[in-house]
């Protein structure tokens, strides 16, 4: 039996598709008697009721005929081919829909992350206008930032931004003059000093996860 990847497809329909494939491939000929339900039940490892549903589905689309006290006979290879073609067309549409929905979910997620960064930068830029090189400026390490968990030394923070971290606020704890091996965690409030260019570079560095290079004058 073909291992159909669509796990939502009913078992009896999978069996009907498998029998149709056997008919189209030449395993069965028109007029040939199909194995009895008990044999098919054993072959596919399902209940007789499941086989009955598969058989009557094939009968409804004109592929087989069920004769009382005689058995099940193949009556149309062409109908079997039509049945398979229709199934594959439906599967193609279903797969395309699933791929589209998955793409839309990714776009929504990426847009949400982008909007979060934009809002962070807008809020930070508003505070930046009031800052001076000697006034500590606050930057919150966002949950999505890739710098979280890395030390100041690993990030090469000063060389990358030109700004200096003079304190870290972490919950109820305040770390003054953090050393190079101090780690930056998600939710930390960084107090930094530097000129406008350095502060801008620090904002982008924290928001983009350490990917930006120091801005040149």
DSSP 42-104: HHHT--HHHHHHHHHHHHHTTSEEEETTTEEEE--HHHHHHHHHHHHHHHHHHHHHHHHHHHH
pLDDT confidence bin for 184, thresholds 50/70/90 = very high
Of 103, 83, 189, the closest CA to residue 202 belongs to 189
Q: How many Å apart are CA 202 and CA 208, to the nearest integer?
A: 10
User: What is the rounded distance in angstroms from the CA atom of residue 5 to the CA atom of residue 214?
Assistant: 50
How high is the pLDDT of residue 78?
Answer: 92
- Interaxial angle between packed helices 77-128 and 11-25, expressed in degrees from 0 to 180 and rounded to the nearest 10: 130
Tell me the average pLDDT of the chain.
82
Give the up-direction half-sphere exposure of residue 162: CA atoms within 13 A in the CB hemisphere.
16
How far, rounded to the nearest angstrom, does the alpha carbon of residue 88 sit from its chain's CA centroid? Answer: 24
Predicted confidence (pLDDT) at residue 173 exceeds the cutoff of 50: yes
In angstroms, the CA 171 to CA 216 distance is 34
Give me the pLDDT at residue 150, please.
Answer: 92
Reply yes or no on whether the pLDDT at 127 is more than 80.
no
Q: What angle do CA 177, 146, 194 make, to 5 degrees?
A: 40
What is the length of the chain?
217
Instruction: Summarize pLDDT for 48-68 with one digit per residue, the tens.
Output: 899 889 988 999 999 998 887
pTM listed for this prediction:
0.42
Band of residue 4 on the pLDDT scale cut at 50, 70, 90: very low
Q: What is the pLDDT of residues 62-121, one digit of tens each?
A: 999 888 777 888 999 999 999 998 888 888 887 888 888 888 888 888 877 777 776 766
Q: What structural domains does the chain harbor? A: 11-97 (1.10.10.10), 131-207 (3.30.70.1450)
178: nearest Cα among 196, 197, 153: 153
């Amino acid at each position: 039996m073909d291992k159909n990847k669509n796990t939502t497809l009913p078992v009896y329909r999978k069996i009907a598709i498998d029998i149709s494939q056997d008919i189209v491939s030449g395993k069965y000929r028109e007029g040939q008697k199909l194995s009895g339900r008990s044999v098919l039940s054993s072959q596919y490892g399902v209940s007789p009721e499941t086989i009955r549903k598969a058989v009557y589905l094939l009968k409804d689309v004109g592929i087989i005929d069920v004769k009382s006290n005689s058995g099940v006979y193949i009556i149309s290879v062409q109908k079997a081919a039509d049945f398979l073609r229709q199934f594959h067309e439906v599967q193609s549409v279903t797969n395309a829909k699933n791929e589209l929905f998955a793409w839309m979910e990714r776009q929504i997620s990426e847009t949400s992350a982008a909007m979060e960064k934009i809002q962070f930068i807008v809020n930070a830029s508003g505070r930046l206008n009031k800052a001076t090189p000697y006034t500590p400026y606050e930057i919150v390490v966002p949950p999505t930032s890739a710098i979280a968990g890395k030390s100041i030394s690993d990030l090469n923070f000063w060389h990358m931004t030109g700004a200096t971290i003079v304190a870290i606020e972490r919950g109820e704890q305040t770390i003054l003059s953090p050393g190079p091996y101090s780690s930056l965690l998600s939710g930390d409030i960084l107090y930094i000093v530097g000129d406008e260019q350095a502060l801008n570079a620090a904002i982008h560095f924290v928001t983009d996860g350490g990917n930006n290079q120091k801005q040149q004058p």
